[in-house]
Amino acid sequence: QQSRAKRYLLDIAASEVTTDATFRYKSFTWRTSAGNRHPYEYIIAQQPAGGGTARDALTAVEENLPSPASGWTLVLIPSVSLVCSGKEEMRPLATLLSQRGHRCYILEWPGWTQDVQTNWALEHCKPECLAEEYQDFWCQALDHVAQQELLLAKGSQEREEAAEKAPQLCVVAASSSAIYALRALEALTAWEPEQDGAAKAFELYKSVVMVAPSWKAPPPSGWLSRLERDRAAYWMGAFLHSDTRLGRLYRNSHFSPQNLRRNFSHAGTPDEERLFQLASWFFQRPRPYAQTDAMVTYGFLDPAGVESVDSLVAEIKAHLLRLKILLLLPATDSQFRNPQSQALDLWDALKEQGSHGVLEHRELSSTSSLPHELATSAVQFAVDQWLQQSTVDS
């Protein structure tokens, strides 16, 4: 209790400072396929009750969460890669969106958090089972958010003595996380609620925003890349955990600033130094290297079964029968096309094949494969506009 209160104060500065976006830490129990249970912490970002600002930050944390003014709750899922920044990747976007009246949940990948227990939860998972384990985790996380929203809506109804309105949820996911999220929502259609008569979780999710979606990690480099990927991943994990002289040499190279910059997505941008410092700090987190660094480097966390852009197009079109989908694409022109982004190829294929349902796209001002980190305001504006339109159409 006391340590968590300290975490609150770190996020909301001092109690004397007024605030228009408050971050609250919550948790739920995640169960692995082996039956082990682990606490998983996430963040809720929302404006204090009453509108613009609360009297002070501490008051904002202690008060009950009102229904989001916009009527929308957003689930933000960051990208996953060798060099990323976990939930910090989505925190600036959550701040802007919460100021627009939305409630935001910030989730992150186990293994890519600052919590040691969460990171080591899958240390015994076999490489070939890891993607499936993560898929099940995202099902549990999205189901928990939906159930939490139902409880909050019920509590708000009792306090305000007003008719209960079903929450509307939208997932905003970056890179390959967007495909994991779509598949988790599809899997939720088969989940039955724990209580009779309760709404099914998937019925609350109305929309998905895919931010620069991708499905293939960049090809690895280095001498291990000459091996078959399962052997390369095995040896990479073994060297990173080894206390031998060779292991120490490999770790020194792996954690060097040169390797960090080689895998850094924002080189040459105005925000390079700030984002590099954040990524460098996050790169030092404790984790099982065999289940994180090795797996993501050699493509074991790429969404399974996506052999080509056409197979992904068919998958997305099937989701349009129930969900509204927005694609946010990195900027491009006739002379430049970001080789790291597959989002543009996906949109071209979707246009060629046509689709039924609500599918739109917006082109952003940034050419980055992670545009929400560099063009945060542009992403916020596109998402906010999309939700307003979806509210009018529903």
User: Nearest-5° angle of CA 151, CA 155, CA 161?
Assistant: 140
End-to-end Cα spacing for the chain: 41
Q: What average pLDDT does range 2-22 have in this prediction?
A: 43
Q: What is the pLDDT of residue 9?
A: 36
Q: What's the CA gap between 172 and 90, in Å, rounded?
A: 10
CA distances from 61 to 18, 64, 71, 295, 342 (A): 12, 8, 20, 38, 40
Mean pLDDT across the chain, nearest whole number?
Answer: 86
The encoded tokens of residue 266 equal 């924002």
Strand order in the sheet with 168-174: 22-31, 37-46, 103-106, 72-77, 168-174, 205-211, 324-329, 359-363
- Write the single-letter amino acid at 129: C
Label residue 362 exposed, middle or buried (CB < 10 Å: 0-12, 13-18, 19+).
middle
User: Is residue 83 predicted with pLDDT exceeding 50?
Assistant: yes
- C-alpha 345: how far from its chain's center? 22
- C-alpha 371: how far from its chain's center? 14
Collapse the DSSP code of 195 into the 3-class scheme (helix H, G, I; strand E, B; otherwise coil) and give the result.
coil
Residue pLDDT, tens place only, 175-214: 999 999 999 999 998 887 665 555 678 899 999 999 999 9
User: Nearest-5° angle of CA 56, CA 76, CA 330?
Assistant: 120
C-alpha atoms less than 13 angstroms from C-alpha of 59 in its C-beta half-sphere: 12
Q: What's the CA gap between 216 and 214, in Å, rounded?
A: 6
Residue pLDDT, tens place only, 49-81: 655 455 555 555 556 778 899 999 999 999 999
Residue pLDDT, tens place only, 142-181: 999 999 999 888 876 655 555 557 889 999 999 999 999 9
- Which residue is associated with the tokens 């979606």? 213
How long is the chain? 394
Q: What's the CA gap between 297 and 305, in Å, rounded?
A: 18
Whether 96 contacts 376, CB under 8 Å: yes
Residue-wise DSSP of 219-287: PP-SGGGGS-HHHHHHHHHHHHH--SHHHHHHHHHHTSHHHHHHT-TTTTSTTHHHHHHHHHHHHTS--
User: Is residue 349 predicted with pLDDT exceeding 80?
Assistant: yes
Is pTM beyond 0.95 here? no
- C-alpha 186: how far from its chain's center? 17
User: Is residue 338 predicted with pLDDT exceeding 60?
Assistant: no
Q: What's the CA gap between 100 and 384, in Å, rounded?
A: 8
Q: What average pLDDT does range 85-104 have in this prediction?
A: 95
Q: What is the pLDDT of residue 153?
A: 85
